[in-house]
Amino acid sequence: MLRPSRQTRQDVLYGDLDSKESLIIRGVTGATSVAWTPGVVDAIFDLLGDFSDDGISSPYDGDVDGGYYFIWQQQNGSIGGTYSADADDDGDVDGDDLDIWSDHYNNTLDIFDIVV
């Protein structure tokens, strides 16, 4: 399948594992790993409403909290670019993105003992 030029975080066709609720993933130390297809520029785990937009890498803190509301406020009204608060990947930051943050507020993603 060809990937479109615009990736969308909420569509399962585009590679990442979207967490819509709180989720804990526990691996076996030194034995559990997650591999990703080379060249795919998508987060492996995507906690919807987390506007840090960086999967599980630092400074990802694994929760959807009030700090992300401030990111949305700063980017609200932005169009025509790539913005971390563009939760629905439609090219702008607006009330629809705030709704996604609100719907997933207080959800967490905890990952233990997994090599990525």
Q: Which residue has the higher pLDDT, 71 or 42?
A: 71
Reported as a pLDDT band with limits 50, 70 and 90, residue 58 is very low
Q: What is the pLDDT of residue 95?
A: 96
Write out pLDDT tens, residues 88-113: 888 899 999 999 999 999 988 887 77
For residue 12, pLDDT over 70 is answered with no
Amino acid letter, 27:
G
Ramachandran assignment for 34, one of left (phi > 0), alpha (psi -120 to 50 degrees), beta (any other): beta
The topology under which CATH files domain 12-112 is Type 1 dockerin domain (1.10.1330)
Q: What is the pLDDT of residue 61?
A: 66
Q: Which residue has the higher pLDDT, 52 or 101?
A: 101
Domain ranges of the chain: 12-112
The stretch 65-90 carries a mean pLDDT of: 88
Q: What is the pLDDT of residue 72?
A: 93
Q: Which residue has the higher pLDDT, 49 or 58?
A: 49
Q: What is the pLDDT of residue 13?
A: 53
Task: State the pairing for strand pair 109-112/17-19.
Answer: unpaired
26 strand-pairing partners: 112
